[in-house]
Copies of this chain bind each other. A is one copy, B any other.
Amino acid sequence: MNRREMLKVGGAALVSTATNRMEGAQPSSHSSARVERWDLFEQSFSGPQGGNPFLDIWTRAVFRKGNREVSVDGFYDGNGTYKIRFMPDEPGMWSFVTDSNAAELKGKKGLFECTAAQGDNHGPVHVRDSYHFGYADGTPYFPFGTTCYAWVHQTEELQRQTIESLKTGPFNKIRMCIFPKWYQYNHGVPPRFPFPRNGEANDYTHFNVDFFRHIESCIQQLRAIHVEADLILFHPYDHWGFQAMPPDVDDRYLRYVIARFAAYRNVWWSLANEFDLMRKKTNADWDRYARIVTETDSYAHLRSIHYSHAPYDYSRVWCTHAGVQDYAFDKAAQWRMEWRKPVIFDECMYEGNINSRWGNLSGEEMTRRFWLCVVAGAYGGHGETYVSHDEIENDKAILWWSHGGTLKGSSPERIAFLRKLLEEIGAQGGGRIGFEATEPVYYLSARRNGNEAILWYFDFHQPSYYDFTLPENARFRAELVDPWEMTRKTMDGTFAGKSRISLPGKPYQAIIFHKI
């Protein structure tokens, strides 16, 4: 134990760090770190350095509180260091005991105190009310996600910009790949690889711990700004072999990722971006990955998969929600019924101006799609693909969709407006939701904590008046909302039952009725 390590153990009761290190075979029942509920507790151990620890040594720990037992896998972090990470979900004293096939990592014991969550720590996100999401502490979570597939593989400066953009932007979830990306506008060499490289070959028998540490630091930065990290575990846009690794490497990679990342509360698992484009993988492979993630992640983080052309069967039990690549928003109501799960239109094309169909929506259309998602009782997914002619000519294009950086489009501020509005009316739970084919509008009826609101969106319809059908047994006040101008105007009068209301005869307007 070096001086720094000794200070850590010695100071455990004074400082709130949850990173501890235990020496050799010494029992550590005196470890008394504190960790906030849903924060990460980490315990380091020294262990074997000989042979290949990545292949030869396994570790795990059982965490106990009262009658509860939670088992988690540990992982090798290089230089003879083994780590166990754990996200406690209940305040109070927790104990743990390790197990391993290495004598010096076996039977290690420890204690820590889980303290109450502070500030904006609401815990991990789970499914709520069948079709929606909520944080573990009961706070509703409305996913307003964006996509920066390869942001963690960019320069430090660009990553800093990405975090800054996310901090001030409307997004509370980001889709991001673990493996680096090779695709149009993405032909650079990433700064780190997940495995040691021998020329063009990967040494699949070892992990490059720096690679995974770096991703951890990204997950931590996202956690600090309350952004969920929707981690994409496999994807087809590859140049280095990661899309076609041997099955045992795939599985070891998944277990390693889960052992390292699962204790971060803001992690979601997406088995793939466009799984159906990964020609080397079979349905049995995807089933196996799903089983590994489901069985190995002790916290039951959200799990899904994303397709290109072949819609996945999201009714399958392992999926917690659907993450579709589609823009058939009028199907959302039916999908919800069939799958009994939340539907996120993770990829409904991107705002931008590039040459590809999926990457050149106008800001108006992107905004419209978010509204269509919401009134369909589903959620949208943002992405942005703007390039300038200069960037193309100099082969230095920075596209938010892949690299991160700064947001240039006109939809993000409108998405922020919609998110604020939805969070205000608390549109989760029951009520009639979705498209009414015989009506000119789409609406969402939301009830929460005795509040009730009904949101109607008129899309490209522009009625000069409309006969709304409201509940008879309550009175409502009405607001006219302009999603593009981002204005809200209270209308005269109160309303109940069938109510004819004059409208501006302008497309893309919305009305919210608030129960008085």
Q: Select the residue from A352, A356, A437, A464 with max chain B CB neighbours within 10 A.
A: A464
What is the predominant secondary structure among interface residues of chain A facing chain B?
loop
Known: A364-B507, A365-B460, A462-B362. A438 touches B357 (CB 8 A): yes
Contact of A461 among B360, B387, B437, B441 (CB under 8 A): B360
CA distance A388 to B463 in the complex (A): 11
Q: Which residue of B lies closest to A507 (CB)?
A: B362
A361 (CB) vs chain B CBs: closest residue:
B460
User: Is A439 an interface position by the 8 A CB rule?
Assistant: yes
Q: If A362-B460, A362-B462, A392-B465 touch, does A356 touch B440 (CB 8 Å cutoff)?
A: yes
A354 to B458, CA, bound (A): 12
- For A198, the chain B residues whose CB sits under 8 A away are none
Q: In the docked arrangement, what's the CA distance between A352 and B466, Å? A: 13
A462 surroundings in chain B (CB, below 8 A): 352-353, 360-362
Known pairs A360-B461, A361-B461, A502-B389; A355 contacts B467 (CB<8 A): yes
Question: Restricting to A475-516, which residues have a CB under 8 Å from any CB of B?
Answer: 502, 505-507
A123 and B385 CA atoms in complex are apart in Å by: 52
Query: Contact between A355 and B466 (Cβ–Cβ < 8 Å)?
Result: yes
Per the bound structure, the CA–CA distance linking A393 and B365 in Å amounts to 35
Residues from chain B with a CB closer than 8 A to the CB of A392 are 465
1/0 per residue, CB under 8 A from B, across A376-395: the answer is 00000000000111001000
The smallest C-beta distance from A368 to any residue of chain B, in angstroms, reads 9
Closest B-chain residue to A460, C-beta based? Answer: B365
A354 to B441, CA, bound (A): 12
Chain B residue at smallest Cβ distance from A356: B440
Contacts of A355 in B (CB 8 A): 440, 463, 465-467
Residues of B within 8 A of A458 (CB): 360
User: Do the beta carbons of A357 and B461 come within 8 Å of each other?
Assistant: yes
Task: Report the bound CA distance from A65 to B502 in whole Å.
Answer: 64
Which listed residue, B437, B438, B463, touches A353 by the CB 8 Å rule?
Answer: B463
A410 CB, nearest partner CB in chain B, Å: 11
Contacting residues, chain B, for A388 (C-beta < 8 A): 464
**CB distance B389 to A353 under 8 Å?**
no
Q: Which residues of B contact A506 (CB under 8 A)?
A: 362
Contact between A360 and B440, CB atoms less than 8 A apart:
yes
Bound-state CA distance A362–B364 (Å) is 15
A406-460 at interface with B (beta carbon < 8 Å): 437-441, 458, 460
- Are the C-beta atoms of B357 and A440 separated by less than 8 Å? yes
Check if A463 sits within 8 Å of B360, measured CB to CB: yes
Q: A360-B440, A440-B360, A507-B364 are in contact. Are A389 and B464 (CB under 8 A)?
A: yes
Interchain CA distance A167-B154 in the complex, whole Å:
63
A455, chain B: closest CB distance, angstroms: 17
The answer to whether A387 and B464 touch across the interface, beta carbons within 8 angstroms, is yes
A353 to B360, CA, bound (A): 30
Decide if A505 touches B460 in the complex (CB within 8 Å). no
The answer to whether A505 and B353 touch across the interface, beta carbons within 8 angstroms, is yes
- B-contact 0/1 string along A94-122, CB 8 Å cutoff: 00000000000000000000000000000
A463 to B460, CA, bound (A): 22
Within the complex, the shortest CB–CB distance from A274 to chain B, in Å, comes to 14
Say yes or no: B357 contacts A439, CB within 8 Å.
yes
Kindly list chain B residues whose C-beta atoms are within 8 Å of the C-beta of A465: 355, 389, 392
Q: How far, in angstroms, from A516 to B463 measured CA to CA in the complex?
A: 46
**A502 to chain B: which residues have CB within 8 Å?**
389
Contacts of A365 on B, CB cut-off 8 Å?
A: 460, 507
Shortest beta-carbon distance, A327 to chain B, in Å?
A: 11
Find the B residue at minimum CB distance from A388. B464
Tell me whether A354 and B389 are in contact (CB under 8 A): no
Q: Which residues of B contact A389 (CB under 8 A)?
A: 464-465, 502
Task: Given contact pairs A357-B438, A360-B463, A387-B464, enumerate 17 new A-B contacts (beta carbons under 8 Å).
Answer: A352-B462, A353-B463, A354-B463, A355-B440, A355-B467, A356-B440, A356-B463, A357-B437, A357-B439, A360-B458, A360-B462, A361-B461, A362-B506, A364-B507, A365-B507, A389-B502, A392-B465
Q: List 30 A-B contacts (CB under 8 A).
A: A352-B462, A353-B462, A353-B463, A355-B440, A355-B463, A355-B465, A355-B467, A356-B440, A356-B463, A357-B438, A357-B439, A358-B440, A359-B440, A360-B440, A360-B458, A360-B461, A360-B462, A360-B463, A361-B460, A361-B461, A361-B462, A362-B461, A362-B462, A362-B506, A364-B507, A387-B464, A389-B464, A389-B465, A389-B502, A392-B465
5 closest A-B pairs by beta carbon, nearest first, are: A357-B440, A353-B464, A362-B507, A365-B460, A353-B505
